[in-house]
Amino acid sequence: MELTLPFHLENFIGGNFIGPLSGQFIDNINPASGEVYGQIPDSNEKDIKIAVSAAQIAWATWRTTAAEKKFSILNKIADLIDQNSEALALAETNDNGKPLWLSKKVDIYRAAANFRFFATGLMHFSTESHSMEDKAINYTLRQPIGIVGCISPWNLPLYLFTWKIAPALAAGNCVIAKPSEVTPVTAFLLGKICKEAGLPDGVLNIVHGTGLNCGEAMVKHPAIKAISFTGSTKAGERIAAVAAPMFKKLSLELGGKNPNIIFADCNWEKMMTTTIQSSFSNQGQICLCGSRILVEASVYEQFKTEFVERTQQLSIGDPLEENKQGAIVSKIHFDKILNCIKIAKEEGGKILLGGNAVKPTGRCANGYFIEPTIIEGLGPQCKSNTEEIFGPVVTLQPFHTLEEALELANATEYGLAATVWTQDISKANTIASKIESGIVWVNCWLLRDLRTPFGGVKNSGVGREGGWEALKFFTEAKNVCIEF
């Protein structure tokens, strides 16, 4: 199949590509060039209403479709993503600003893996039974919820879009999905792939638009019984406020302000190489990035010197070329990051490296680029260490004891992920058990097994994604008790 991209994207509803009922569109901007290169639907509650109607018709048959048939369709979607990986990677880079090599290596590969994983998983998804000696037997039915809403962010567009959609479909639900209005293109192309793969009309409906007009309408619609959302804590608060009184199921994967804890006894070379990645991958626009680097005092100066030197070697520029750092996703986010750096200076932070916008030559002269930025001298209560920046900005803080490291690590309202570097297994286990975080990596970062639960604590959200956790979220448990 050939993935062509029209200037005006359309919603994918009931198996058809249609424009927004309002006739209103939003400019889509290439962040590397700053140029408008397309428009997307500015959908609202009217578009959500017809998407729900299409899903209601489709659910009558999709809910009882045999597991083997669902497996075949979802696996075909994975195959088509693989077959069109070059076109999808280019679309992702043009839409998001990330380096093309990163889109190929991570985003598109993972999108296919998500569908393939849950296609296989549904074939092995089982439920429990409990025998009450000679009295009765209980068994659990896991039944699809019905129509669910999936709202995904702009930082890993197709990767996280499919991370939600695949388990929802595998569990037998019909889906109303909204990608970020900042990065809509690969979601639009996914609609074409699903059509080609034979996914029945109305099972997946992709509606484009803003959170205020489109996302809010999804959350409010009474027929949408569950919401899976990844995005900012502020947006998550609004979704919870609207959905909770309606008793909808909620999975909210929100912000992170993750500590990267480095002890003197670590594998130094591996730690340095990985810390560069965990600090600045995807321009720091990954919720799992280690934006607060905590270093044992005895090696703090050594770390600082080498970390700055290595970061200086990261090339910044056109994401279609072999650069390590691409563009920030949008002008709004570009301005936010620069303002956060300004606040860090006002708080007394010392900029060890970076802190400035970059203007590459050629087609990227008007793009949104920021230098990788390293800041020291800020205490744990400063805004730069408590509020999510979500950009190529990290802070350094020294610690003297394990207890102090834990105190610094737990000093924010976030609790998504943490990284620990030490060769002492006892120390690693102590940190892992006491740190307030949903995910802990020891001597590695972003090493993900799709079978494991994913999610945070505190202001980093509620619920878990991944593996059986995702399939359980997208189903309702019903106990059946039969007396002998």
Per-residue pLDDT of the chain (484 residues; tens, 9 = 90+): 889 899 999 999 999 999 999 999 999 999 999 999 999 999 999 999 999 999 999 999 999 999 999 999 999 999 999 999 999 999 999 999 999 999 999 999 999 999 999 999 999 999 899 999 989 999 999 999 999 999 999 999 999 999 999 999 999 999 999 999 999 999 999 999 999 999 999 999 999 999 999 999 999 999 999 999 999 999 999 999 999 999 999 999 999 999 999 999 999 999 999 999 999 999 999 999 999 999 999 999 999 999 999 999 999 999 999 999 999 999 999 999 999 999 999 999 999 999 999 999 999 999 999 999 999 999 999 999 999 999 999 999 999 999 999 999 999 999 999 999 999 999 999 999 999 999 999 999 999 999 999 999 999 999 999 999 999 999 999 999 999 9
Residues facing 259 on adjacent strands = 292
Domains and CATH numbers, the chain: 11-254+460-483 (3.40.605.10), 259-449 (3.40.309.10)
pTM: 0.96
With 0-12 / 13-18 / 19 or more C-beta atoms within 10 angstroms meaning exposed / middle / buried, residue 61 is exposed
Catalytic residues: 253, 287
